[in-house]
Chains A and B, each alone.
Chain A
Amino acid sequence: MHSFDLDLNDISKIEGHTNMSVKVRDDKVTECHLEISEGKRFFKQAITGMSYDLVPSTMSRICGTCSAAHALCSVEAIENAYDVRVTKQTKILKNLLMNGGHLRDHAMHLYFFCLPDVFKKESVFDFKGELHKWVHDGLDVKDAGTFLSTVIGGRAVHPPFLAVGGFTSFPSKTMMKEAIAKLNQVRGKILDLAEVFYNYRVDFKRKTNYVALFNKDYNYVDGFIKTADGSVISEDRYADYLDRVVLPYSTADAFTWKGEDFVVGAVSRLNLNRDSLHKKTKKDCAKYLAKFPSDSVFDNNLAQAIECVQAVDNSVEYLEWLLKNIKKEKLAKVVPRDGIGVGVVEAPRGTLYYKLEMLKDGTVKKPELCIPTQQNIFHIEKDIAKYVEELLKKKANKEGISLKVEEMIRAYDPCMSCATHFLKIKWI
């Protein structure tokens, strides 16, 4: 019988530092806590009283990795609060901005964080010989995503062209053609990557609820919120289902969906919305898509690889439309009024909610945010508890358990720097 404490220290990038602790007594997990403990930056207080036009560029600074998602989600909330109607072109540009972000972010996660686990290496710096292909594929796919974000948003991190009511600058045809070429160049490489994650099996399952935006074209901006238990609700009603739970061991709050743990992210999106993928993606990923719906968070990696193909196919189609139709548009007129607006987008790691109470004078009265990591906290805790007990039954040793738990946390794709090795095990 084993008794020990696992301490995972210094998980940063989830609004600062995070620790994870697992207590095992007689082969049972008695406690499993994800503690978000410091690094609060008080963005909600910062935008309270702020003029609406400054909000997107401020909120994008919450996270460099997900900056487009934060900026766009706040734009959506403000546009809904002030009843701003945007053009078809703006909607397409918003979708392209999200596609670029997802492509770069997923590629970083899959090639640079997860492939070292698959190939049993410490890092991509150890990818020598025939493994070197994966470094270059990863760099090329990231580059295509970053280029797309730059063409559409002006920059991959904190996109300056996105504003309430539309975009302030527009891509040239030369740039768009170059983006199409880059996207087409990496498509085959992404399919190679999907094959790797398809073949890489991890024995773990836990049937739970999953939640994601549901729509007809697998976009990350519009739609209804759908759950595994069959509920389909409108974006503005999310607060009826999501409950904030204060964690005594953490300064960040967690969330439940109708009182239960649930998961958001690529695996949830594919579980719920895979019929809406681009037809080219569906055709070339048919073998991989047969794995969904999946009850394993480890399939989040394969799901992200499929989403990279989707980002390519969907973006190429949109860019071709823009090449024929793009024009310089003025921002939609904004008439501030008292009202509440909800913004919901699918950030790379899951559903992001903004609820902004706005005032007639153009300022924010009260902001509420719900970030994907907060929604996944309980799910991560319960998955790890189950996984550790299963590994103990299989007589795994402490090094084995620590590596496997790390790999599981990595599959959730917590932000950048926490994705490397951070486990310390204390055996009692």
Chain B
Amino acid sequence: MGKVKVGVYSFTCCEGCTIVFVEMLNKKFDEYVKKIDFVDFRALKPSKDIGNTDIAFVEGAISTYDQIDRLKEIRKKTKKLVAMGAAAMAGYPSDHRNRFDAAKLKEIMPIVKKLNQVDKVMPLKEYVKVDDEIPGCPIQEEVLIKKIDSYLKNA
């Protein structure tokens, strides 16, 4: 059996879930490198274009038009898309701007427009089909390991 192809991707967020992912490897590195080919993982290796994957772990909310395109490409190239953490699942906390009052909106909207950001910060499921979710801000290491192990078992 070949290795399972995994990608780890990041959108608008603090990238704390990627850190939990990397810290999880403190315990699981040897085991997982035998079973997993990390196709895309910018925290650990040079990033190229989005590769074909069996599982894509995606953290972060969607806040720009460019990100919508990139997310759709990840979706197209993966068999299973997993939303990792509160930003990917629910838009938290970057979606605080969706609830700003008129005065604050007046202050930020010129920047939002200038940067080609979308009017509302949204979770992944607003734009693509999400196959599974791992909750938390950040996600919990034990839950992540359980999920990965179950994906590997069924791969």
Decide: A417 and B14 in contact? CB cutoff 8 A.
no
Does B96 belong to the interface (CB within 8 Å)?
yes
| Least CB separation from B17: chain A residue | A64
Does B133 belong to the interface (CB within 8 Å)?
no
Give every chain B residue within 8 A of A123 (Cβ-Cβ): 44-46
Cα A112 to Cα B22 in complex, Å, equals 10
Cα A13 to Cα B43 in complex, Å, equals 10
Decide: B96 and A125 in contact? CB cutoff 8 A.
no
| Least CB separation from A125: chain B residue | B45
Give every chain B residue within 8 A of A399 (Cβ-Cβ): none
| Complex interface bits, A30-50 against B, C-beta within 8 A gives 1, otherwise 0 | 000000011111100110100
Given contacts A45-B97, A158-B138, A416-B18, contact A39 B63 (CB under 8 A): yes
Give every chain A residue within 8 A of B111 (Cβ-Cβ): 40, 251
Query: Most B CB atoms within 10 A — which of A10, A122, A125?
Result: A125
Cβ < 8 Å to A, chain B residues 17-55:
17-20, 22-23, 25-27, 29, 33, 38, 42-47
Cα A158 to Cα B47 in complex, Å, equals 27
Give every chain A residue within 8 A of B66 (Cβ-Cβ): 38
Give every chain B residue within 8 A of A139 (Cβ-Cβ): 25-26, 29
Q: A217 to nearest B CB, angstroms? A: 28
Cα A417 to Cα B22 in complex, Å, equals 12
Complex interface: stretch among A55-63, A230-238, A330-338, A375-383: A55-63
Complex interface: stretch among B72-80, B100-108, B122-130, B145-153: B100-108
Does A161 belong to the interface (CB within 8 Å)?
no
Q: A139 to nearest B CB, angstroms? A: 5
Decide: B15 and A10 in contact? CB cutoff 8 A.
no
| Least CB separation from B25: chain A residue | A139
| Least CB separation from A421: chain B residue | B46
Does B135 belong to the interface (CB within 8 Å)?
no
Q: How many residues of A contact B (CB 8 A)?
A: 47
Give every chain B residue within 8 A of A41 (Cβ-Cβ): 12, 63, 93-94, 97
Decide: B23 and A417 in contact? CB cutoff 8 A.
no
Does A65 belong to the interface (CB within 8 Å)?
yes
Give every chain A residue within 8 A of B18 (Cβ-Cβ): 64, 416-417
Q: B24 to nearest A CB, angstroms? A: 10
Decide: A157 and B115 in contact? CB cutoff 8 A.
no
Given contacts A45-B108, A420-B42, contact A157 B47 (CB under 8 A): no
Give every chain B residue within 8 A of A143 (Cβ-Cβ): 23, 26-27
Decide: A64 and B12 in contact? CB cutoff 8 A.
no
Give every chain A residue within 8 A of B43 (Cβ-Cβ): 112, 416-417, 419-420
Q: B56 to nearest A CB, angstroms? A: 15
Which residue from A10, A40, A136 sits with its C-beta under 8 Å from B117? A40
Given contacts A142-B26, A251-B111, contact A48 B104 (CB under 8 A): yes
| Complex interface bits, A1-34 against B, C-beta within 8 A gives 1, otherwise 0 | 0000000001011001000000000000000000
Decide: B29 and A157 in contact? CB cutoff 8 A.
no
| Least CB separation from A419: chain B residue | B43
Cβ < 8 Å to B, chain A residues 89-137:
104, 108, 112, 122-125, 135-136
| Least CB separation from A41: chain B residue | B94
Decide: A125 and B104 in contact? CB cutoff 8 A.
no
Cα A421 to Cα B137 in complex, Å, equals 28
Does A266 belong to the interface (CB within 8 Å)?
no
Give every chain B residue within 8 A of A42 (Cβ-Cβ): 96-97, 100, 104, 108
Does A314 belong to the interface (CB within 8 Å)?
no
Give every chain A residue within 8 A of B108 (Cβ-Cβ): 40, 42, 45
Decide: B115 and A63 in contact? CB cutoff 8 A.
no
Does A146 belong to the interface (CB within 8 Å)?
yes
Give every chain A residue within 8 A of B107 (Cβ-Cβ): 45
Cα A156 to Cα B117 in complex, Å, equals 31
Which residue from B10, B17, B27, B64 sits with its C-beta under 8 Å from A417? B10
| Complex interface bits, A390-426 against B, C-beta within 8 A gives 1, otherwise 0 | 0000000000000000000000000111011110000
Give every chain A residue within 8 A of B45 (Cβ-Cβ): 122-125, 420
In the complex, given contacts A40-B112, A123-B45, A155-B138, what are 7 additional A-B residue pairs having Cβ atoms less than 8 angstroms apart? A13-B15, A38-B117, A40-B115, A42-B104, A64-B17, A251-B115, A417-B15
- Give the interface of A toward B (CB within 8 A): 10, 12-13, 16, 37-42, 45-46, 48, 58, 60-65, 67, 104, 108, 112, 122-125, 135-136, 139-140, 142-143, 146, 155-158, 251, 415-417, 419-422
25 example contacts (A-B, Cβ-Cβ < 8 A) are as follows A10-B47, A13-B15, A38-B64, A38-B115, A38-B116, A39-B63, A40-B112, A41-B93, A41-B94, A46-B93, A46-B97, A61-B93, A61-B137, A64-B13, A64-B15, A65-B19, A67-B14, A122-B45, A124-B44, A140-B26, A143-B23, A146-B23, A155-B138, A251-B111, A417-B43
